[in-house]
Chains A and B, each alone.
Chain A
Amino acid sequence: MLTIVWKDNEKKWKQLIENLPTTYGVDFPIPEEIKPPFKAFVTMDGSNIDYAVYVKDILPKTEKPKLSRNTKGIQHVLLIEKVEEVKMHVNEIEPVGKKQGTKVQKILLINIEEEAPKIPVKFKGYDDFENAIIEILKNKKENLPESVIREIASRSKKFKLNKEDLEKVVEFTIQEYKKSSVDPHEAVGIVAAQSIGEPGTQLTLRTFHYAGVAEVNITKGLPRLIEIVDARTKPSTPTMEIYLEDDIKKDQEKVEILAKKLESTKVIDVADVEINVTEMTVTIVMDKEKMSKRRISKNQILEAIKKMKHQGTTLTEEGDSIIITLQDPSYKKLYLISEDIKNLLVSGIKGIERAIVKYEESIGEYKIYTQGSNLKSVLELEGVDHRKTYTNDIMEIYEVLGVEAARNAIIDESIKTLEEQGLSVDVRHLMLVADMMTFEGNVEAIGRHGIAGKKSSVLARAAFEITSKHLLQAGLLGESDELRGVAENIIVGQPITLGTGAVNLIYKYPEKKR
């Protein structure tokens, strides 16, 4: 994005900041490409950028500004909304055109990275029924979660309730809701762990195919659940569900073409790679049939091989084969080159092994299922609906979309795994596990390398795994164990700090009368 940096006077800026929002006259031209609202920068000494300025609008110079850079020669009047302090050096920014020394004299045109557009928070407004309920709640000085309000509203609508009935419904709902709240000090963590662990014995231990047409092998049952809590970098069977943009999602042919584009094709998939020991060359014999099936041209293969970074190689084409000769060949070198070539990506997206097109009756459109996952690259593709496309690789979601998305992915994936096996586990338990795994801002595993290894209590760590290491380390650091958790209090033989143990109540006996 194009914007400007200009030099200004410190005193004037102090004054400006105190009077925000304000109008400000500038004595330099602002290029037409820059359209309000925009973000500009101001430097005081010419080398350090001090402020970021949010300009809401450019007013005609006829407008009289409250302040101005120079009393004379005002060319534009800026409506400044907000000023933020920043710490940047002029060298860190990218000037447009020729570099003009290290200092900003008056004004400098620069390029800054496009700011992510702010996504407006979607809030579905309330309708009449919902508002009526909110009104009733207000009168009663009570509160209910949004989801509950919406649910009773939609049901009330169906029943065409009058105000009196609605009031009754709300009253009963409040009663129900209060009745169901959690007890203070409830050991929710343990309950969650038990609720997920207990049905573990009922899960299957097998990975098998989807029944149906488009089949992608997927890890299911217990192994999948373990994989989720382990926060593995790569799931054993990564897979994606790719939704498509409106213009192609109903067109089977276009979708097929896209799917083929996704599938990563290695040289070995379309050609034979041989080492010719007598000639000391590597020969790549292309398989026309396989190539046409995967829509790969000879040129593509050539291009790919040319891009390889092996030194001292020469390529010669000979009919359907490519021969690679080395300057000073040795068998080891030939072998290495041939292995590299075999795994060379000719087309497609790295990591995606197969892509299958399937017509989804329920939504009336085509979808692509893949074996292997590469969320980042797929989202960048033309024709892919990036809002709905999904992968089962949690760490990839974390890297591409962030922790919150990863947290939701953990919940969704574990629900899916459990539901497939016909087990009902309350979402709250899964949420707690997901929150525990992500609350530090990155995805951490449940277990020795993750949360368990990071507990604050020495005794709790020692009791879990690798006992001696933790005890010895505690000695060096002079750690002290404050005995606030469950495991450590059990070890020293005290009541734990959850549930009834969290309450300290001492009854003072009246003085004994004898």
Chain B
Amino acid sequence: MIGPEVQKRISSLRFALLSPDEVRKMSAVKVTTADTYDEDGFPLDRGLMDLHMGVIEPGLRCKTCNGKVDECPGHFGHIELAMPVIHVGFVKEIKDILEATCNSCGRIKLKDEELEIYRPVLEKSILNGEESLEALAMSKKIIDEAAQRSVCPHCGAEQYKITLDKPTTFRENGRKLSPKEIRERFERIPDKDLIFLGLNPNTARPEWMILTVLPVPPVNVRPTITLETGERSEDDLTHKLVDIIRINQRLRDSKDSGAPQLIIEDLWELLQYHITTYFDNQTSGLPPARHRSGRPLKTIVQRLKGKEGRFRSNLSGKRVNFSARTVISPEPFLSINEVGIPEEAARELTVPIPVTPFNIEKLREIVRRGPNPKGEKYLPGANYVIKQNEKGLKQRIMIMEKNAEDVANKLEVGWIVERQMMDGDVVLFNRQPSLHRMSMMAHRVRVMKNRTFRFNLAVCPPYNADFDGDEMNLHVLQSEEAKAEARILMAVQEHIRSPRFGGPIIGGVHDHITGLFLLTYKNPLFTKEQVLHILSYVNYDSLPKPVIVDGKEYYRGKDIFSLILPKDLNMEYKAKICDGTGCKECVFDKCPYDAYVMIKNGQLLTGTIDEKSIGAFKGVLLDRISRDYDSVTAAKFIDNFTRLSVGVISYMGFTTGIDDTDIPEETKIQVDEILNDAIESTKAYIDAYQKGILQSLPGKSPEETLEDNIMRVLSDAQKKAGEIASKHLGMENPSVIMARSGARASMLNLSQVAANIGQQAVRGRRINRGYIGRTLPHFKKGELGAYAHGYVRSSYKKGLTPLEYFFHAMGGREGLVDTAVRTSRSGYMQRRLINALEDLKVTENDGLVIDTTDNIIQFAYGEDIIDPTRSKQGKAVDYDAVFSKALGERFFLQIRGGK
């Protein structure tokens, strides 16, 4: 880690088949005893736990390498099989080869001239390892062709039909072929033919697919587990090996004593079964081998396969140290780049600091504090010191209160101190599911009281976090390289923009939006005292110029907001509250609804700041700042507006309640009328349908037409009712403020509370399930009316009737089921996408996209070599910004109508 060592890289891995000779050569012991330990609990000689194969008990030494438990890597043993046995993994290949080769001379049943044309391609692909898939297809073709021949073209011998009785029995013309016979045939196949069979003659021989020697894996692959009761429990593999040795012994004895053929064959088949299940305990056509308790054994293939298998669970992902997990909660006064960490966690997690002449005194003090420094204020201590002696051996010294002083004094340059976390350390912070790169970002530590992780609310969207009990993970970085990369590439401020759509993903949420809305909408006035309160959270240079109203000094909300804007910013756009309706023609900066945002030289002149300005995903102001300025400025802007907003909303106060949605009596009557009319018109449609006079829509049956019409009428009515109710809910209404500014909820939600909930649907249609011909026994069979199919006329505030409540629950349940199904399906899709695309990268100078074998996937990434993250909503250039920069005010004049 430290020092001039150059890390070595594995350049390649080669795969091959094990030959029997090789198995014997790498074996440390021939295992013959079908048992593990003697009565004293000592490993039996030549048993499955033979000390030659490694040690798992502390205190013992390996008889092969003389290493102790952690030093010995383990060594293979072997079992000599009394009779050869087929390897299940190769059954298909064995069948192919049997079919393709002559039963007497062992050649492939094709003439040499037919074969040789394939050789160049196959040699290139198999021997040089290029495009092995091509080779597979070609050898498949050769095998198919050769299998057709009924006479060997080389020796003229007659060939018979080979059949396979799953899983491992081969027959020739109905006669059983023993593995021994197969092996003998395979031995006759010349090396030069192997390549046509899809075998690499350098690494594999066909007869090696039939086992005569079985390697026994080292004991640390299959450790014995000792329970608290002192009882020993063997690994599944050991169990299986015991079975194999036992049957193998009996087979050998029977063979030697000249037992009848039938008995030998039975034993042979049993041995085949045990070896088959030893490799794969889920072979189709075989009952799985079971543990005494009835649980199927987990053998080799099961260990490797699937999500919990070695590959996906232990090799592609690993357990780590220096990590923490706890509940998260919000802390608006932290910067977006920070994360609050509980002291308890900070004391446990450490950072290695090498001792140098420059920091030795500081580190001495830290070590002196020990692992549990006292005092009100958190000060980092140290948990371990790593001492390096002359031979370069590392020794870990645990620091305790007793030895802290002592170790501190002994501290030398070159040692490493594992210091507890302190403010400013770099950590990775992560919330699962980690769906995109913003799910894991680097934060700076702030050690805090209490036991949750805390962060700024603006960072919720990238993590998709809320605080209803979510937990998150944290990883402390250990090496300098990792820390540097994290700081430069993974820091939160570098991820304000999302690569998905080229806009900000970090931004204001909920109260941030409400707060700034309150501050800027219609430009309210604040007294100096109020302003100082509000601004007490924010970094700013000086107060804006006050305005004089009635002889008193006031500060305007928009001026206050302008304090946090960059001074050279110029832009104009329509705010979220501009719904475009109600105005004949846009009057731009003279908007009576204060919905036209105009920023000149960093001064907000008109317009309201809402979701469209600073919201995550949608904020154009944030978009502009994060694109045109550096990440530090953008981060500062977010920090500032979140603080400002919190200042505003906590000073002014903001609350919402059920009475926000109160509407006057006469409006209620109006709503009722609309709904009654709608019900009447559904009745009319039903009537027409029942009389058979309903005009079908093109391409639809009368039933579908009726359904469509009812759905349409009811949803129109809901919309109308909502509009009427909303008319009475003005901009001074807190619920409306939230909905219109984009902070939370929508006008539809409010109208559902105030006026009418509307039709409930399951699978996109009116509710149609339940009893025969009706949804509930409260209705007549075949009834078509609105109420009989899930129409909810009430509003949330009024309350639902029991029937409405039931239908409403049906609609709600569908949503829940949907989400549950969706997560698994989209998760698998994403895994496949990642797997397909993970290796692609952009080349250094020319913007090509290439894969691992240097295939060119794209000649210019995205056709223009633009990084979507840095794009403006996918566009390479922010034309508005360019023109406004180039033309200044003329640009805006043009936009506003060229005057």
Contacts and interface: CB of A to CB of B under 8 A. Distances in A.
A436 B15 contact: no
B132 interface: yes
B133 A485 contact: no
Nearest to B501: A424
Contact of A222 (B825, B862, B873): B825
A169 B883 CA distance: 6
B839 A485 contact: yes
Interface string A470-485: 0111111111111111
A137 to B, nearest CB: 14
Contacts of B845: 184
A357 B886 CA distance: 50
Nearest to B700: A215
Given A435-B857, A467-B311, A183 B838 contact: no
Contact of B865 (A173, A181, A477): A181
Interface in A472-514: 472-487, 490-492, 494, 497-500, 502, 506-509
B698 to A, nearest CB: 6
A330 to B, nearest CB: 33
B697 A213 contact: yes
B863 interface: yes
A478 B200 contact: yes
Contacts of A145: 863-864, 876
Contact of A172 (B6, B204, B826, B885): B885
Interface residues of A, number: 118
A455 B853 CA distance: 9
Interface in B261-309: 280, 301, 304-306, 309
B437 to A, nearest CB: 6
Interface residues of B, number: 108
B825 A491 contact: no
A452 B827 CA distance: 16
Contact of A475 (B17, B866, B887): B17
Given A181-B865, A356-B698, A484 B16 contact: no
Interface stretch (A19-27, A148-156, A287-295, A382-390): A148-156
From B6, B200, B763, B862, name the one whose CB has the most chain A CB atoms within 10 angstroms.
B862
Given A145-B876, A172-B885, A180-B876, A195 B499 contact: yes
Given A208-B764, A482-B12, A491-B311, A433 B203 contact: no
A184 B826 contact: no
Given A159-B887, A483-B11, A478 B126 contact: yes
Contact of A188 (B500, B842, B878): B842
Interface in A432-461: 432-433, 435-436, 439, 446-447, 450-452, 454-460
Nearest to B765: A208
B858 interface: yes
Contacts of B864: 145, 147-148
A197 B17 CA distance: 39
Interface in B790-840: 818, 821-823, 825-827, 829-830, 832-840
A485 B852 contact: yes
A458 B136 CA distance: 14
A215 B129 CA distance: 54
A172 B301 contact: no
B120 interface: no
Nearest to A452: B835
A368 to B, nearest CB: 11
A211 B252 CA distance: 77
A213 B818 CA distance: 28
B203 A159 contact: no
A225 interface: yes
B499 A426 contact: yes
Contacts of A463: 311-312, 315-316
Interface in A171-189: 171-173, 176-177, 179-189
Contacts of B840: 187-190, 192, 432, 436
A450 B832 CA distance: 10
Given A436-B837, A476-B198, A201 B844 contact: no
A195 to B, nearest CB: 4
B42 interface: no
A96 to B, nearest CB: 38
B882 interface: yes
Contacts of A424: 500-501, 503, 873-874
Contact of B833 (A158, A169, A196, A458): A196
Nearest to A498: B841
A475 B835 contact: no
A165 B887 contact: yes
A206 B821 CA distance: 11
Contacts of A152: 877, 879, 882
Contacts of A486: 838-839
Contacts of A432: 837, 840, 849, 857-858, 861-862
B512 interface: no
B435 interface: yes
From A176, A431, A494, name the one whose CB has the most chain B CB atoms within 10 angstroms.
A176
B93 A172 contact: no
B822 A222 contact: yes
Interface string A126-159: 0000000000000000000101100110010011
Contacts of B856: 439
A478 B16 contact: yes
Contacts of B876: 145, 147-148, 176-177, 180
Nearest to A438: B857
Contacts of B202: 478
Contacts of A462: 304, 311
B507 to A, nearest CB: 15
A209 interface: yes
Contacts of A451: 836
Contacts of A459: 13, 311
Contact of B436 (A165, A195, A491): A195
A62 to B, nearest CB: 52
Given A483-B12, A490-B316, A447 B832 contact: yes
A401 interface: no
A427 B435 contact: no
B500 A429 contact: yes
B233 to A, nearest CB: 26
Contact of B844 (A185, A428, A499): A185
A11 B853 CA distance: 47
Interface string B195-214: 00011101110000000000
From A151, A354, A446, A477, name the one whose CB has the most chain B CB atoms within 10 angstroms.
A477
Contacts of B849: 188-189, 432, 435
Contacts of A475: 15-17, 203-204
B316 A491 contact: yes
B829 A214 contact: no
A497 B851 CA distance: 11
B551 interface: no
B89 interface: yes
Contacts of A222: 822, 825-826, 829
Contacts of A148: 864, 876-877
Contacts of B116: none
Contacts of A171: 886
Nearest to A459: B13
Given A213-B697, A425-B501, A190 B837 contact: yes
Interface in B734-774: 763-764
16 contacts: A159-B883, A165-B887, A183-B842, A189-B849, A191-B437, A195-B868, A200-B829, A206-B764, A208-B763, A432-B861, A433-B837, A456-B852, A458-B15, A462-B311, A467-B304, A487-B838
Given A439-B856, A467-B305, A477-B15, 15 more contacts: A147-B864, A159-B887, A159-B894, A185-B843, A186-B842, A192-B837, A354-B699, A431-B858, A456-B132, A468-B305, A469-B89, A476-B90, A477-B126, A484-B853, A487-B838
The 9 A-B pairs with the shortest beta carbon distances in the complex, nearest first, are A197-B830, A200-B826, A189-B840, A478-B203, A428-B862, A478-B200, A189-B837, A208-B764, A193-B833
